[in-house]
C-alpha cells in the first residue's frame, strides 16, 4: 500500500497543494535540505520549489534557517502539525456554526421536501443524522440498509437513544426492532426496498433505496410529513405484533382477511393475486 499517496490525499482535503504535500513529506524523511536538494528529491520543478516553500513557511509547516550561506528548511514535527491543524479547523467550525445559526431561519425550510439521490449518499446522510440523534430513532428498514447503519445505530443506543421500528430481513440484531411477517409474500409483491427513518421526531427520510445510484429519498422537517411517517411505522408494528400473538388458527384467519383487504384495495386481478397469496 502506498501510504504516501494516502497521506497526500488526506492533506489535500485539508487544503494543501500536491507540491506542498510532496515538499513536507520529503522533508520528514530527510532534513534539513536546501530548496535545490528538495526539488531534486521530491520531483517538484526547481522553478516552483521556492514558492512552495514560502507557502509552507507562511503556514508554519516548515521553517527556514540560514547556515553557512545556505538556506536550509526543516519540517514542523507531525504531532505539532496535526494538533495545530485540528485546533485551526475546530476554530473554523466553531465560527461557522455560531454565525450560520444566527442568520439561518430554520422555520423557513421546515415544510420543504429535499430529494437526496444515490444509495451511498443516502446512507452517508443518515449516518450524520443518527450521530446527532438525542432521544429516539424510528425505522422501517431492510437488512441491506441496516447492515450499513448498524454501527451508528449501536453507538446511538449506547448513549441512550431509543430505537423502535420494523425490520425486513432474516438476521435481526436489534431486540427493539420487530421482524416483518410473511417476507416472501412482501418481496414478491413489492419488488423494491423502501425505507423510512425518523430522527427525534424532527427529521423524516423516506423513499426507495434498492436502485443503487438511482435510489431516491425525501428528507423533510415538516411536522405533518413526520407524523404520517410515524403513524405508518406504528401501524405496521401493531399489525405485525398482533399477528404474531395469535394462535395458529386465528393467525391464518387474520392473514386471509388481510389478503382480501389488500386484494380489494390494490384492485389485484385473481391471476396476479394467486402468484403470491400463499407465500409466507
Q: What is the pLDDT of residues 71-82, one digit of tens each?
A: 899 888 888 888
Regarding predicted confidence, which is higher, 12 or 183?
A: 12
Task: State the cell numbers at 56.
Answer: 509552507
C-alpha angle 52-6-61 in degrees, rounded to nearest 5: 35
pLDDT of residue 259: 82
70 domain residue, yes or no: yes
CATH code for position 15: 1.10.10.10
Specify whether 57 is located in the same domain as 165. Answer: no
Specify whether 118 is located in the same domain as 213. Answer: yes
Number of domains in the chain: 2
Nearest to 26 by CA among 56, 65, 47: 56
Local structure of 170: helix, strand or coil: coil
Specify whether 119 is located in the same domain as 230. Answer: yes
Specify whether 73 is located in the same domain as 119. Answer: no
pLDDT of residue 167: 92
40 domain residue, yes or no: yes
Confidence at 106, pLDDT banded by 50, 70, 90: low
Q: Which of 45-54, 152-161, 261-270 has the highest mean pLDDT?
A: 152-161
Sign of torsion, CA 156 161 166 172? Answer: positive
256 domain residue, yes or no: no
88 domain residue, yes or no: no
Nearest to 129 by CA among 195, 227, 178: 195
pLDDT of residue 267: 87
Specify whether 204 is located in the same domain as 133. Answer: yes
Regarding predicted confidence, which is higher, 276 or 182?
A: 182
Specify whether 66 is located in the same domain as 141. Answer: no
* Other beta carbons less than 10 A from residue 4's beta carbon: 14
Q: Give the tens place of pLDDT for each residue, 189-247.
A: 777 889 999 999 999 999 999 888 899 999 988 889 999 999 999 999 999 899 989 99
Query: β-strands 70-75, 62-67: how paired?
Result: antiparallel
Q: Give the tens place of pLDDT for each residue, 161-178.
A: 999 999 988 888 888 899
Specify whether 129 is located in the same domain as 178. Answer: yes
Q: CB-based burial of residue 112 (10 Å sphere; 0-12 exposed, 13-18 middle, 19+ buried)? A: exposed
pLDDT of residue 1: 46
Specify whether 123 is located in the same domain as 30. Answer: no
Q: Residue 48: which domain range?
A: 3-78
Cα separation, 32 vs 27, whole angstroms:
7
Amino acid at each position: 500500500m502506498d501510504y504516501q499517496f494516502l497521506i497526500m490525499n488526506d492533506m489535500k482535503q485539508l487544503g494543501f497543494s500536491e507540491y506542498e504535500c510532496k515538499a513536507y513529506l520529503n522533508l520528514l524523511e530527510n532534513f534539513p535540505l536546501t530548496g535545490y536538494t528538495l526539488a531534486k528529491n521530491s520531483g517538484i520543478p526547481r522553478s516552483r520549489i521556492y514558492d512552495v516553500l514560502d507557502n509552507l513557511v507562511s503556514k508554519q509547516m516548515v521553517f527556514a534557517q540560514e547556515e553557512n550561506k545556505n538556506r536550509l528548511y526543516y519540517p514542523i514535527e507531525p504531532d505539532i502539525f496535526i494538533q495545530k491543524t485540528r485546533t485551526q479547523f475546530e476554530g473554523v467550525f466553531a465560527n461557522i456554526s455560531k454565525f450560520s445559526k444566527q442568520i439561518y431561519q430554520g422555520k423557513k425550510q421546515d415544510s420543504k421536501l429535499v430529494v437526496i439521490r444515490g444509495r451511498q449518499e443516502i446512507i452517508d446522510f443518515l449516518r450524520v443524522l443518527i450521530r446527532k440523534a438525542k432521544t429516539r430513532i424510528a425505522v422501517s428498514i431492510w437488512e441491506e440498509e441496516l447492515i450499513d447503519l448498524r454501527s451508528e445505530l449501536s453507538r446511538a443506543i449506547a448513549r441512550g437513544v431509543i430505537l423502535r421500528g420494523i425490520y425486513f430481513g432474516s438476521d435481526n440484531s436489534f431486540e427493539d426492532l420487530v421482524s416483518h411477517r410473511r417476507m416472501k409474500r412482501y418481496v414478491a409483491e413489492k419488488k423494491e426496498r423502501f425505507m423510512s427513518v425518523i430522527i427525534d421526531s424532527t427529521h423524516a427520510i423516506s423513499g426507495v433505496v434498492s436502485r443503487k445510484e438511482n435510489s431516491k429519498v425525501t428528507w423533510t422537517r415538516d411536522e405533518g410529513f413526520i407524523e404520517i411517517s410515524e403513524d405508518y411505522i406504528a401501524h405496521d408494528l401493531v399489525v405485525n405484533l398482533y399477528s404474531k400473538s395469535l394462535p395458529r388458527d386465528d393467525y391464518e384467519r387474520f392473514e386471509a382477511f388481510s389478503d382480501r383487504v389488500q386484494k380489494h384495495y390494490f384492485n389485484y386481478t385473481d391471476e396476479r393475486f394467486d402468484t403470491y397469496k400463499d407465500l409466507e
